[in-house]
Amino acid sequence: MKKHIPNLITLLNLFCGCVAVVFAVLNQLEIAALFVFLGIVFDFFDGFAARILNAQSPMGLQLDSLADMITSGLVPGIVMFQLLGMSMTGGWNVDLSSQATNDTFWVGLKVAPLPFFGFLITLASGYRLAKFNIDENQQSSFVGLPTPANTLLILSLPLILLYHNNDTLNGIILNSWFLVGMTVLSAFLLNANIGLFALKFKNWGFKDNALRYIFIIVSLVLIVTMKFMAIPAIIGFYIISSVVTNWSSDR
């Protein structure tokens, strides 16, 4: 029975991803973000449960990637699709419950298919997950930005729009060129040959986990002080600290 517990948790991740897809399509990005966050929590605990219960299996690995493909692959692509659509229509005025707005939005898409460029994130996520499944060197660390971290980065954009309500930030985020740049950067980071540490603790000692503890403390401080603006800062700190640590260890 216990061997099925990690897979059940993984399926909860998949369920959250499916719900998030529905709300992302409806442009209810705040609710979509909530279910993605829940899915990422389940994604963390399925691996944790598998290690604790000694229930790791090849099927669990494949199921985990399939769930991540929805929660952390398809959803961020749809979110970027919606953001690019908003950049074309001048802001958060795309309400799919309104037929008039809906017609305007889709006519715009027929003329300029730019929003579909957002699905480059989904394609890059699928490629990254496929590589991860056959790479035996990513057991205790990652090569390229993990899909959940990338998803948090993309989902932070509509949350910043909703909760920070800053005209300067809104102008930047809803700029088509900025969003195209973020899409390209996201696809690059997912598959870049950059070694990144994993938040997997083999023990609780500070000496062996100093970087992980520092990362957690810095992240908590940033979240308290910057709210959703903290997410891009945390991702940046994660990448920079990993690169610096790798560079120092190679010297």
Chain segment 49-94, per-residue pLDDT in tens = 777 777 777 788 889 999 999 999 999 999 999 999 999 887 654 4
- Give me the pLDDT at residue 91, please: 64
Q: Return the pLDDT at 180.
A: 97
- Residues contacting residue 112 through CB under 8 Å, at least 6 positions apart: 88
**Residue-averaged pLDDT of the chain:** 86
At 171 the pLDDT is 93
**Domain membership of residue 146 as a residue range:** 2-250
What the block records as the tokens of 149 is: 């971290």
Whether the per-residue pLDDT at 46 is higher than 50: the answer is yes
- Note the pLDDT of residue 108: 47
Helices 147-163 & 29-52, crossing angle to 10 degrees? Answer: 150
How many angstroms separate the CA atoms of 6 and 126, rounded?
Answer: 22
Cα separation of 63 and 4, whole Å?
Answer: 12
Half-sphere exposure (CA, 13 Å, Cβ side) for 49? 19
Contacts (Cβ under 8 Å, ≥6 apart) of 250: none
C-alpha 125 chain-centroid distance: 9
Q: Tell me, what CATH number does 78's domain have?
A: 1.20.120
Q: What is the DSSP string of 148-207?
A: HHHHHHHHHHHHHHHHT--HHHHHHHT-HHHHHHHHHHHHHHHH-S-EEE----SS--TT
Is a pLDDT exceeding 70 seen at residue 224? yes
Q: Is pLDDT of 106 > 90?
A: no
Q: How far apart are CA 97 and CA 221, in angstroms?
A: 39
Q: Which among 113, 228, 96 has a CA at the least distance from the CA of 176?
A: 113
* Distance from C-alpha of 246 to C-alpha of 26, rounded to nearest angstrom: 42
- What's the Cα-to-Cα distance from 209 to each of 27, 31, 71, 162, 206, rounded to whole Å? 40, 34, 28, 36, 5
What residue type is assigned to position 250 of the chain? D
- What CA–CA distance (Å, rounded) separates 85 from 119? 13
Q: How confident is the model at residue 127 (pLDDT cuts 50, 70, 90)?
A: very high
By C-alpha distance, which of 112, 117, 115 is closest to 84?
115
If one counts the domains in the chain, the total is 1
pLDDT above 90 covers what percent of the chain? 63
Total Cβ atoms within 10 A of residue 163: 12
